[in-house]
Amino acid sequence: MNIRNIWLVIRREYLERVRTRAFVISTILVPFFMMLVTLGPSKLASMKATGTRKIVVVTDNAKFGDTVRAQLASNSDRKTTATIDPTATDAERDTLRARVTAGEIDGFLWAPMSDVANRKVIYTGREVGDFLEVAGLERAVTFAAIEKRMDARGIAGSDLDQLLKRVSVDTIRMERGKESKVSGIGTFLATFLMVFALYMTLIIYGVSVMRSVIEEKSSRIVEVLLASISPFDLMMGKIVGVGAVGLTQVTIWSLGGFLVTSPALLAAKGIVGDVQVPVLTLALYPFYFILGFLLYSASFAAVGAAVNSEQEAQQFNFVVMSPIIASMMVMMYIIRQPGAPWSVALSIFPFTAPICMFLRIAVQTPPAWQIAASIASMIAAVFVMTWLCARIYRIGILMYGKRPTLPEILKWMRYA
Amino acid sequence: MQPVELKNVSKQYGNFTAVDRLSFTIAPGAIYGLLGPNGAGKTSTIRMMIGITVPDTGEVRMFGEPFRREHLQRIGYLPEERGLYKKMKILDQIVFMAELHGVSAADARRRGLAWCERLQIADWAMKKAEELSKGMQQKIQFITALLHDPEFIIMDEPFAGLDPVNSTLLKDVLLDLKKQGRTILFSTHRMDQVEKLCDDICLVNHGKSVLQGTMRDIKASFGRNTVQIDYEGDGTFLERAGDLVQSSNNYGNSAEIHLKPGADAQQLLRLAAQSARISRFEIMEPSLEEIFIATVGPAEERAQTAAK
């Protein structure tokens, strides 16, 4: 190991990357894009539709109709005026259909008492895709039906509003004997953002290490480089240099995130409640980030050295990336059952640990030994992988031409 | 102190023997030619000299001691496969490579600019490599191989792809370095290109050394048996001189003739003069290529017969 040479490679990789336009653009655009993807849809969906909706409620019971109308007027997401139509005949139905088609009314609710008794009424309208509106209708009809049933049993239905008041459940997280009030969805969102950043950087910067190896190999620069630096130093310098770029970007994102997007965060707070990420989660994030990156980038470097072009790399890439992708796929399972044996196993297995253990830490406080075990297994894996990959790298980087097969690569590892 | 000493060096890749018990010594201040066809094991040999690969058996000694990575700061290497970082500025690349060889950044910058000046590419120093032509990129690589002022310089196919003007430019630089006492190794399959430059040579074929020694001795031992005649008129004298001529190429106004062993060139001149006007008659040294073919040819045939 020649520290000066490693440092020179780190510096070159870092500066050449940070100076590019691509780095600047991705640093600015990615957080923006993530905000858009995560917050945009929920924000949009929660926006109330504008304009008054005119519907006709067809029912042979005046009291039922009045209750539905009152409920729609007060509870619906969209301002709704309902008129009661007591004639539930087929001819009337056709007339109403014609009025909907003509655009006079937005739709009609076909709710004669016989249908209500069967707990099935039909809304016919031009726009039926908005589930929030349909849910509003359902609430109003259910409310009126319950009132009707209570009347039938001789209970005064006028206090129904009071009787049906919801009881809300708040979540409080215990962490080392201290309680902190966290909203479930808020924690989920914050964790999701952090895990997503971890996942993206692992893949983006892992592939970036691979690209850089392929570039040096395919342009034959490596021949010149190896006349002054050992393959191991070159690989280490590259991994650390590219990793430092990733770390820089994530740091910029998180610092900038607090400053620039605080209005957005406040908006998010309105939707999801208190967003609070526990201290332990924040403190362990860099560990999982750095260890995860070291673990994967060594494998990516080996892939880069073994192939001649990025096209050839794809097949190997999938093998390398599959544990990361698998971790993302079991994300929901781990969030819901962080203590289950599978979750524990995946969070200690080094290749899935970065994402899986981090998820567990975010939703519970796993036993200290499990956190220690996951970090220890990752450190061990980093050493083993770096050693193995350095061997593949050393041989592969001077092999041009045919793409090696897996058995050939395994043979390289045994070369002295 | 010999800059390079190879003792019985072998390198095997799987079942393929790239270098087979190769030994040679390069004298300080000499220009040494490592010559042979493609795939003869030249690049494999060089890689072992600079520690990219380790010999299976045998020993590589550099500057009088067993090879150590520290020696690399005293060696300049221009590989056969050329490459630069496409997106990196030329001067930055030069400085980076020099720093890897232990030169300080400031020194590297100063020397890099001076070299660019000398090789007439100073205008391009601030450009990115992808904007440069192939020939210019090759000059940049040439600079990166020399910037740390190495004592021993390895040039693998240095003139491949260069126009005559630039070839001469680089040749002059290398001859200058020789005058300053540097040792230079040329590795090439284009023997004609380095014929006049080399003091000593080693001809390799199939990883084995087939001929070694000083250029003068080797040429002398092969004798002067090639004659070049430029003539006007009747060319039939070649047929009449059947006792003298081993083989010949007649181009109409000019003929290249290989004499039979022991044949007298003056006799051929007299015969030719009887029927044609002679404007040039020259007894030539055999070219390295001819020497190579003469050395390897019979061996090759023997190998083939043995295989049968």
**Tens-digit pLDDT profile for residues B138-156:** 889 999 999 999 999 999 9
Q: Which pLDDT value is given to residue A25?
A: 87
B74, closest residue in chain A (CA to CA) = A228
Chain A residues near residue B99 by CB distance under 8 angstroms: 8
For residue B307, pLDDT beyond 60: no
Q: Is A243 domain-assigned?
A: yes
Give me the domain span that covers residue A307. Answer: 3-43+175-414
| Residues 6 or more apart whose Cβ sits within 8 Å of residue A251 | none
- Closest by Cα among A380, A320, A323 to A351: A323
Q: Which pLDDT value is given to residue A416?
A: 47
Cβ-contact A122, A109 below 8 angstroms: yes
For residue B205, list its beta bridge partners. B208
Residue B288 C-alpha from the chain's centroid:
11
The three-state secondary structure class of B34 is: strand
Tokens standing for A289? 């980030």
Q: Which one of A20, A224, A228 has the shortest CB-CB distance to B83? A: A224
For residue B284, list its beta bridge partners. B226
The three-state secondary structure class of B15 is: coil
Residues A133 and A32 in one domain: no
Cβ-contact B244, B251 below 8 angstroms: no
Most confidently predicted of A15-24, A156-165, A274-283, B262-271:
A15-24
Single-letter amino acid, residue B206 = H
Going A52 to A53 to A55 to A57, the CA torsion angle's sign is negative
Residues A291 and A334 in one domain: yes
Going A395 to A401 to A403 to A408, the CA torsion angle's sign is negative
* Final residue before a domain boundary, out of A113, A142, A163: A163
- Nearest-Cα distance to chain A for B258, in Å, is 42
- Nearest-Cα distance to chain A for B70, in Å, is 9
Residues A318 and A229 in one domain: yes
Q: What CATH architecture applies to the domain B224-284?
A: 2-Layer Sandwich (3.30)
Q: Is A179 domain-assigned?
A: yes
- Nearest-Cα distance to chain A for B74, in Å, is 10
Give the pTM. Answer: 0.72
The DSSP call for residue B73 is G
Q: Is A245 domain-assigned?
A: yes
Greater model confidence, B297 or B271? B271
pLDDT, tens digit, 9 for 90 and up, residues A350-406: 999 888 888 888 777 788 899 899 999 999 998 888 888 878 887 777 776 666 777
Quick check: ipTM above 0.90?
Answer: no
In angstroms, the CA A11 to CA A392 distance is: 24
Q: Look up tokens 């990156």; give the residue.
A: A293
CA distances to B59, B132, B296 from B52, in Å? 14, 29, 29
Residue A106 C-alpha from the chain's centroid:
37
- Nearest-Cα distance to chain A for B84, in Å, is 6
For residue B305, pLDDT beyond 70: no
Residues A186 and A207 in one domain: yes
Q: Which pLDDT value is given to residue B100?
A: 92
In angstroms, the CA A184 to CA B58 distance is: 69
For residue A177, pLDDT beyond 70: no
Residues of chain B with CATH 3.40.50.300: 4-219
Q: Which one of A221, A227, A228 has the shortest CB-CB distance to B85? A: A221
**What percent of chain A is modeled with pLDDT above 70?**
81
Greater model confidence, B223 or B8? B8
pLDDT band at B86 (very low <50, low <70, confident <90, very high): confident
Report CB contact under 8 Å: B88, A16: yes
pLDDT band at A349 (very low <50, low <70, confident <90, very high): very high
Residues A202 and A297 in one domain: yes
For residue A279, pLDDT beyond 80: no
Q: Which pLDDT value is given to residue B302?
A: 57
Tokens standing for B178? 């020789």
In angstroms, the CA B116 to CA A127 distance is: 74
Q: Which pLDDT value is given to residue B267?
A: 84
Optimal mutation site among B100, B143, B149, B185, interface A, most CBs of chain A within 10 A = B100
Q: Is A258 domain-assigned?
A: yes
| Residues 6 or more apart whose Cβ sits within 8 Å of residue A151 | A63, A157
The three-state secondary structure class of B54 is: coil
In angstroms, the CA A124 to CA A269 distance is: 37
The count of domains in chain A is 2
pLDDT, tens digit, 9 for 90 and up, residues A119-144: 888 888 877 666 667 778 888 888 88
pLDDT band at B23 (very low <50, low <70, confident <90, very high): very high
Report CB contact under 8 Å: B79, A220: yes
CA distances to A110, A348, A354, A379, A397 from A383, in Å? 70, 16, 16, 6, 20
Report CB contact under 8 Å: B87, A416: no
Q: Which pLDDT value is given to residue B115?
A: 92
Q: Is A113 domain-assigned?
A: yes
Q: Which one of B73, B88, B141 has the shortest CB-CB distance to A224? A: B141
Residues A278 and A384 in one domain: yes
Q: Is A48 domain-assigned?
A: no
In angstroms, the CA B153 to CA B156 distance is: 10
Most confidently predicted of A136-140, A293-297, B80-84, B265-269:
A293-297
What's the average model confidence in pLDDT over B101-105? 91
The three-state secondary structure class of A9 is: helix
Going A361 to A367 to A371 to A377, the CA torsion angle's sign is negative
Residues of chain B with CATH 3.30.70: 224-284
Q: Which pLDDT value is given to residue B76?
A: 92
- Nearest-Cα distance to chain A for B139, in Å, is 14
- B105 at interface of A, judged by CB pairs closer than 8 A: no
For residue B82, pLDDT beyond 80: no
- Nearest-Cα distance to chain A for B42, in Å, is 15
What's the average model confidence in pLDDT over A112-118? 83
Greater model confidence, B250 or B299? B250
Chain A residues near residue B87 by CB distance under 8 angstroms: 16, 20
Report CB contact under 8 Å: B83, A5: no
Residues A72 and A194 in one domain: no
pLDDT, tens digit, 9 for 90 and up, residues B186-242: 998 888 878 888 999 999 999 899 889 998 888 888 777 788 889 888 877 777 777
The three-state secondary structure class of B246 is: strand
Chain A residues near residue B73 by CB distance under 8 angstroms: 228
pLDDT band at B38 (very low <50, low <70, confident <90, very high): confident
Cβ-contact A215, A381 below 8 angstroms: no
Residues A304 and A368 in one domain: yes
Superfamily of domain B4-219, CATH level 4? P-loop containing nucleotide triphosphate hydrolases (3.40.50.300)
Report CB contact under 8 Å: B144, A224: yes
Tokens standing for A337? 């059952």
Residues A70 and A20 in one domain: no
Tokens standing for A316? 């190997």
* Final residue before a domain boundary, out of A99, A130, A163: A163
* Final residue before a domain boundary, out of A163, A185, A215: A163
- Nearest-Cα distance to chain A for B180, in Å, is 23
Q: Is A170 domain-assigned?
A: no
For A261, how many CA atoms within 13 A lie in the half-sphere containing its CB? Answer: 21
Report CB contact under 8 Å: A219, B83: yes
Chain B residues near residue A229 by CB distance under 8 angstroms: 100
Report CB contact under 8 Å: B72, A16: no
- Nearest-Cα distance to chain A for B53, in Å, is 9
Cβ-contact A106, A99 below 8 angstroms: no
Report CB contact under 8 Å: B52, A226: yes
Residues A184 and A299 in one domain: yes
In angstroms, the CA B270 to CA B281 distance is: 11
- Closest by Cα among A253, A277, A285, A283 to A358: A285
SS3 for A123-166, per residue? EEECCCCCHHHHHHHHHHHHHHHHHHHHHHCCCCHHHHHHHCCC
Report CB contact under 8 Å: B87, A5: no
b/e map A200-216, b = 16+ CB within 10 Å: bbbbebbbbbbebbbbb
Residues in chain A, how many? 416
Residues A186 and A328 in one domain: yes
Q: Which pLDDT value is given to residue A266?
A: 54
Residues A118 and A246 in one domain: no
In angstroms, the CA A9 to CA A15 distance is: 10
Report CB contact under 8 Å: A2, B69: yes
Report CB contact under 8 Å: A224, B79: yes
Report CB contact under 8 Å: A223, B79: yes
